[in-house]
Amino acid sequence: MAKNASRKSASRLSIDDRTADILNAARQVISEKGYEKILLADIARQAGIVEGTIYRYFQNKRDLLVKVAELWFGEQLSADSHLDGISGTQNKLRHVAWRTLSIIKREPVLSRFMLMELRPDPNYRSTPFFELNRHFTRETLQICKDAIATGEFHADVSPALMRDMLHGCIEHRTWAFLRGEGDFSPDEVAEGIATVVYRGMLAHPVSNQPAAALETLVARLEKVAERLEQKPPQVGRNNQLR
């Protein structure tokens, strides 16, 4: 009601510019405050506007934060996201795991934000993280189904379970990492996951021990044969194989 000669107004921007400003401000606040409380007041200040203005551009706080995550995560999906160039079941599994793990390693703040702030939300299903997860998850499922189709994998374990193992492991590892309980190397973890899952799913695992045992056995046999050839008859009790 007062006349407010002193009232300052931010310059008028296009919808897109202002939207971008707010998104950037939000992202910056998230980066700085980590997974601590994110205040609209902080975001508004950072964007050089007032809290109420945010509601012109976003339905509510959650809507804004979801959009931030969407954008941010989108940037992380680089060219190495698709599997097209990769052959071999184990290689594919490794790549899928590695891809997610590297994003997490590269952008811990984003990951923490999505996992801890966005995910526990009641209507999490409309979250970018959710969609992305579904996509990755479908991809992994397909790898497994393909391998079963060719007979490479056992059909006695459900593909969905294998997928849950792979992605569940990644997620579990991520929580620990985000909680500050130890670092991890995307390469190593991806290698480990792919190895165990692959071996565990194989229809006809290669056993190197029985082979090794046989190897010795054969060698011994061959020696016996040689001896037999050298000294014709004369076989005594010494020739016992064991």
Q: Which residues are near DNA by CB under 7 A?
A: 1, 3-5, 7-13, 15, 18, 37-41, 48-53, 55-56, 60-62
Residue 236 binds which one of DNA, its own copies, none, with CB within 5 to 8 A depending on kind? its own copies
List 10, 39, 41, 217, residue binding its own copies (CB under 8 A): 217
Residue 209 binds which one of its own copies, DNA, none, with CB within 5 to 8 A depending on kind? its own copies
Q: To which residue do tokens 């969905």 refer?
A: 160
Residue 75 binds which one of its own copies, DNA, none, with CB within 5 to 8 A depending on kind? none
Q: Give the Cα separation of 188 and 199 in Å (integer).
A: 16
Helical pair 61-76 and 15-33, crossing angle rounded to 10 deg:
80
Q: Give the Cα separation of 217 and 169 in Å (integer).
A: 41
Q: Give me the least distance between CB of 46 and DNA, in Å please.
A: 12
Residue 41 binds which one of DNA, its own copies, none, with CB within 5 to 8 A depending on kind? DNA
CB atoms near residue 73 (< 10 Å): 19
Using only C-alpha atoms, what is the Rg of the chain? 30
Q: Which helix (H) or strand (E) holds 23?
A: helix 15-33
Task: Choose the binding region for its own copies from 19-27, 47-55, 100-108, 163-171 (rule: CB under 8 A).
Answer: 163-171
Q: Is residue 39 at the binding interface for its own copies, with CB under 8 A as the rule?
A: no
Residues 6+ apart with CB under 8 A from 234: none
Q: Is residue 122 at the binding interface for its own copies, with CB under 8 A as the rule?
A: yes
Q: Give me the least distance between CB of 48 and DNA, in Å please.
A: 7
CB 76, CB 103: distance < 8 Å? yes
Residue 56 binds which one of its own copies, DNA, none, with CB within 5 to 8 A depending on kind? DNA
DSSP label at residue 80: G
Q: Which of 111, 96, 76, 103 shows the shortest CA–CA distance to 191?
A: 96
Can you give the binding site for its own copies, defined by CB under 8 A?
35-36, 115-117, 119-120, 122, 124-125, 156-158, 161-162, 164-165, 167-173, 176, 179, 189, 192-193, 195-211, 213-215, 217-218, 220-222, 224-225, 227-229, 231-241
